[in-house]
């Protein structure tokens, strides 16, 4: 079933057509009267619905993203430690297998990592694409956005294919943050007005298969982000756990990143 895209700004009809073709959305001439739809306005693309929820969009320039850029915890923050940045000499190539609205990818790209953002939902991928386009033309974010590449694909397929390549062509780190069918993340996200996103995307019921492919593709480690008290992904046990205030990172270490000051291999 395709997802509706309504263009509310006549001057942006070409962009709407491009988005519809690229992400398999269904252009509609009238604003829908019920359900969820994507709406392209003069500023940005939003996921909207009638009534209950506020609009949802991805954002790398203003708001929380600006705050993170200006006040973020650098390499000392939990996500940076989790992917192994503390003390690392070479910044890893990261694949964010569950990009969503790109919040985690943006933090990692802000810290200097190159990030491939995999997203299978056409709705989330379109929202990400729009936010990246805006970030690419803003002076504060142009360099960060240049390190972020969006791929609209299923990560299980993409990682399985990548795992067959030589190590030099594979990512050092794969980051995974699925939508679990539990309540922790739902209540946390609900607070942020993200119910619409969850309703549209649904739960990710194939996380075990995703973790297995991530472990085959990564050369250094796989990091799974979880609510503090949420269950680990079934299957392989994490080799280490890093706890934050409300979030936990389960680490599946394959090998260590080269530490700062280490000599290059001969
Ligand atoms: C909880 S959200 C991720 C939030 C993200 N970390 C952020 O900072 O915005 C999970 C996302 O992963 C996507 N996803 C789940 N499994 C996937 C897969 N196998 N391939 C690609 N995307 C996947 C879902 O569509 C959803 O958008």
Q: How many domains does the chain divide into? A: 2
Residues 231, 160 share a domain: yes
Ligand 1, atom 1, residue with closest C-alpha:
179
Q: Is the CB–ligand 1 distance for residue 127 below 6 Å? A: no
Task: Give the residue with greater pLDDT, 188 vs 218.
Answer: 218
Q: Is the CB–ligand 1 distance for residue 100 below 6 Å? A: yes
Q: Is the CB–ligand 1 distance for residue 214 below 6 Å? A: no
pLDDT given for residue 258 in this prediction: 58
119 is in an annotated binding site: yes
pLDDT given for residue 257 in this prediction: 60
Q: Is the CB–ligand 1 distance for residue 59 below 6 Å? A: no
Average pLDDT over all residues of the chain? 90
Query: How far is residue 147 from each of residues 14, 74, 83, 113, measured CA to CA in Å?
Result: 26, 17, 16, 7
Q: Which long-range contacts (CB under 8 A, 24 or more apart) does 189-196 make?
A: 193/53, 193/54, 193/56, 194/56, 195/52, 195/53, 196/36, 196/47, 196/48, 196/49, 196/53, 196/54, 196/55, 196/56
CA 22-197-155 angle, to 5 degrees, is: 55
pLDDT in tens, 199-239: 898 888 899 999 999 999 999 999 999 999 999 999 899 99
Q: Is the CB–ligand 1 distance for residue 103 below 6 Å? A: yes
Residues 192, 76 share a domain: yes
C-alpha R_g of the chain = 19
Q: Is the CB–ligand 1 distance for residue 102 below 6 Å? A: yes
d(C-alpha 52, C-alpha 64), whole Å: 23
Q: Is the CB–ligand 1 distance for residue 101 below 6 Å? A: yes
Residues 127, 24 share a domain: no
Local structure of residue 186 (DSSP, 8 states): H
Mean pLDDT calculated for residue range 181-205: 69
Answer yes or no: is 130 within a domain. Answer: yes
Query: How many C-beta neighbours within 10 Å does residue 86 have?
Result: 15
User: What are the backbone angles phi and psi of residue 38, rounded to the nearest 5°?
Assistant: -95, 140
Which of the four pLDDT bands, split at 50, 70 and 90, describes residue 264?
very low
User: What are the backbone angles phi and psi of residue 226, rounded to the nearest 5°?
Assistant: -140, 155
46 is in an annotated binding site: no
Answer yes or no: is 155 within a domain. Answer: yes
153 is in an annotated binding site: no
Q: What share of the chain has pLDDT > 70, as a percent?
A: 89
Range of the domain at 84: 63-253
Residues 212, 175 share a domain: yes
Residues 125, 20 share a domain: no
Quick one: CA dihedral 125, 127, 133, 139, positive or negative?
A: negative
Ligand 1, atom 23, residue with closest C-alpha:
98
Domain with 244 in it: what CATH number? Answer: 3.40.50.150
Q: How far is the CA of 264 from the centre of ligand 1 (A)?
A: 36
Ligand 1, atom 12, residue with closest C-alpha:
98
Q: How far is the CA of 96 from the centre of ligand 1 (A)?
A: 9
Q: How far is the CA of 203 from the centre of ligand 1 (A)?
A: 10
Answer yes or no: is 202 within a domain. Answer: yes
Residues 107, 239 share a domain: yes
Residues 146, 30 share a domain: no
β partners of residue 96: 117, 175
């Amino acid at each position: 079933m395709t997802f509706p895209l309504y263009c509310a700004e006549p001057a942006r009809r070409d962009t709407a057509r491009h988005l519809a073709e690229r992400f398999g959305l269904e252009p509609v001439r009238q604003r829908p009267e019920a359900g969820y739809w994507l709406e392209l306005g003069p500023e940005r693309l939003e996921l909207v619905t009638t009534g209950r929820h506020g609009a949802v969009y991805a954002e790398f320039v203003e708001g929380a993203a600006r705050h993170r850029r200006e006040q973020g915890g650098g390499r000392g923050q939990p996500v940076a430690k989790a992917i192994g940045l503390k003390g690392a000499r070479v910044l890893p190539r990261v694949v964010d297998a569950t990009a969503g609205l790109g919040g985690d990818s943006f933090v990692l790209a802000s810290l200097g990592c190159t990030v491939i953002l995999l997203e299978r939902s056409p709705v989330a991928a379109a929202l990400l694409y729009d936010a990246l386009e805006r970030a690419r033309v803003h002076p504060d974010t142009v360099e960060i956005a240049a390190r972020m590449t969006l791929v609209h694909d299923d990560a299980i397929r993409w990682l399985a294919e990548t795992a067959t390549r030589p190590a030099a062509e594979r990512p050092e780190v794969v980051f995974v943050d699925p939508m679990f069918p539990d309540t922790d993340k739902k209540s946390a996200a609900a607070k942020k007005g993200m119910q619409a996103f969850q309703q549209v995307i649904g739960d990710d019921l194939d996380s075990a298969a995703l973790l297995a492919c991530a472990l085959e593709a990564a050369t250094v480690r796989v990091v799974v982000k979880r609510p503090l008290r949420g269950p680990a992904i079934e299957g392989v046990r994490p080799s280490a756990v890093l706890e934050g205030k409300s979030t936990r990172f389960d680490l599946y270490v394959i090998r260590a990143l080269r530490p700062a000051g280490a000599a290059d291999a001969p």
